[in-house]
């Protein structure tokens, strides 16, 4: 009997949710996605110190001898995620998601500027923009930035997505992919109600199922990638989703478990459902967001968490830079 991971791959694109290159090699996903927290964690692993040091040394050379360690670390931070992305693309056959600075989440212009910089770094390294997804938080401003980027052939992954209003706005903006956060939705409901949830009753599972069915019912091209899983039960309930991005620990659990995996999400089933279409504009988005306490709380918390991870990463890079040998001045004699 086949293991659950192999069966899942027959109707869902499996994506590794990790900055750990060795884990990606082990589970052979089609795509890979990272976020600031994952990059910060990977940057502290001894196995990847050479990547970090290489980025720091290159940033120092570009900045010049007069630049402070803090300035050099800030410049290096902007290229570190791409450095990991380039390594990941040597392993996966598909795409890698690289995230813009979460601190730009409410600024469309700065989000676009950083997206252009990320794409330029990949293209300068000979990597086509077709293999890169720019990760952007699902604020109204982020979605509007993504809408413009998509018209330039820059494909986007809208992350920190917790509500149907965010999903509809993304689909109307014709973004490539969305990442609804299953586990974080579950976390909020468990804390708010004091109850535990399993299987199809999991609020995160319900949310992604609702979004998937809405997209398929109305023929949107945007694809759904369930993310942020707390257990394999959530993954099993979302088998058939376009993509699922899964952490190495849960990939291993699926790979070592045998049994029959039933497809739960199916475009043909969704087409026959009675679903009301919701016209989406900024006022509707803001009204639905304000009324959805969970989505409001988790989007705010997620942006703050990723911003903190970036600040910690900048401090880590500055400390590491101070430990590296300074380049020797070349004598003019």
In the predicted model, what is the mean pLDDT of residues 66-94? Answer: 90
What is the C-alpha separation between 249 and 115, in angstroms, rounded?
Answer: 30
Confidence of residue 71 (pLDDT cuts 50, 70, 90): confident
What is the C-alpha separation between 146 and 159, in angstroms, rounded?
Answer: 11
User: Is the pLDDT score of 82 beyond 90?
Assistant: yes
Let me know if 315 is a catalytic residue: no
User: Is the pLDDT score of 42 beyond 90?
Assistant: no
Which ranges of 105-238 does DSSP label H, i.e. alpha helix? 108-124, 140-151, 164-172, 182-193, 203-217, 232-237
pLDDT, averaged across the chain:
94
User: Is the pLDDT score of 56 beyond 70?
Assistant: yes
Tell me how far the alpha carbon of residue 82 is from its chain's centroid: 13
The reported pLDDT for the residue numbered 145 is: 98
Confidence of residue 299 (pLDDT cuts 50, 70, 90): very high
Confidence of residue 327 (pLDDT cuts 50, 70, 90): low
User: Which region, left, alpha or beta, applies to residue 29 given φ > 0 means left and ψ of -120 to 50 means alpha?
Assistant: beta
What is the C-alpha separation between 115 and 41, in angstroms, rounded?
Answer: 23
For 176-193, b/e burial (b = at least 16 CB within 10 A) is bbbbbbbbbbbbbbeeee
Domain parsing of the chain, residue ranges: 4-323
The per-residue pLDDT for range 255-294, each reduced to its tens digit, is 999 999 999 999 999 999 999 999 999 999 999 999 999 9
Listed in sequence order, the residues at least 6 apart from 115 whose beta carbon sits closer than 8 Å to its beta carbon are 100, 134, 136, 145, 149, 154, 156
The reported pLDDT for the residue numbered 74 is: 83
User: Is the pLDDT score of 330 beyond 70?
Assistant: no
What is the C-alpha separation between 191 and 186, in angstroms, rounded?
Answer: 9
Give the three-state DSSP class for 253: helix
The reported pLDDT for the residue numbered 220 is: 98
What is the C-alpha separation between 194 and 75, in angstroms, rounded?
Answer: 44
The per-residue pLDDT for range 200-214, each reduced to its tens digit, is 999 999 999 999 999
Confidence of residue 160 (pLDDT cuts 50, 70, 90): very high
| φ, ψ at 36 (rounded to 5°) | -55, -40
- Residue from 25, 78, 135, 221 carrying the catalytic annotation: 135
The reported pLDDT for the residue numbered 139 is: 98
What is the C-alpha separation between 293 and 299, in angstroms, rounded?
Answer: 10
Which CATH class name applies to 4-323? alpha beta
């Amino acid at each position: 009997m086949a293991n659950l991971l192999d069966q899942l791959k027959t109707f869902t694109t499996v994506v590794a949710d990790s900055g750990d290159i060795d884990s990606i090699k082990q589970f052979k996903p089609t795509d890979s996605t990272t976020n600031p927290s994952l990059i910060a964690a990977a940057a502290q692993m001894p196995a990847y110190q050479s990547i970090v040091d290489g980025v720091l040394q290159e940033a120092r050379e570009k900045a010049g001898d007069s630049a402070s360690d803090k300035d050099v670390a800030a410049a290096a931070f902007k290229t570190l995620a791409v450095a990991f992305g380039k390594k990941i693309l040597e392993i996966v056959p598909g795409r890698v998601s690289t995230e813009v600075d979460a601190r730009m989440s409410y600024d469309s212009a700065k989000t676009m500027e950083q997206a252009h910089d990320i794409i330029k770094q990949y293209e300068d390294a000979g990597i086509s923009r077709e293999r890169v997804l720019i990760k952007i938080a699902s604020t109204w401003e982020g979605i509007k930035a993504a809408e413009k980027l998509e018209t330039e052939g820059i494909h986007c992954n809208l992350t920190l997505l917790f509500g149907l209003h965010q999903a509809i706005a993304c689909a109307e903006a014709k973004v490539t992919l969305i990442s609804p956060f299953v586990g974080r939705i579950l976390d909020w409901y468990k804390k708010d109600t004091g109850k535990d949830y399993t299987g199809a009753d999991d609020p995160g599972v319900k949310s992604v199922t609702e979004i998937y069915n809405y997209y398929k019912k109305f023929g949107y091209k945007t694809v759904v990638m369930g993310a942020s899983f707390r257990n394999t039960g959530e993954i099993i309930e979302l088998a058939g989703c376009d993509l699922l991005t899964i952490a190495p620990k849960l990939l291993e659990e699926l790979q070592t478990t045998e049994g029959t995996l039933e497809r739960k999400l199916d475009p043909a089933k969704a087409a026959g459902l009675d679903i009301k279409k919701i016209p989406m504009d900024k006022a509707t988005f803001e009204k639905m967001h304000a009324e959805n306490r969970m989505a409001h709380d988790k989007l705010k918390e997620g942006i703050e968490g990723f911003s903190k991870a970036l600040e910690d990463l900048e401090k880590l890079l500055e400390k590491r830079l101070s430990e590296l040998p300074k380049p020797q001045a070349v004598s003019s004699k």
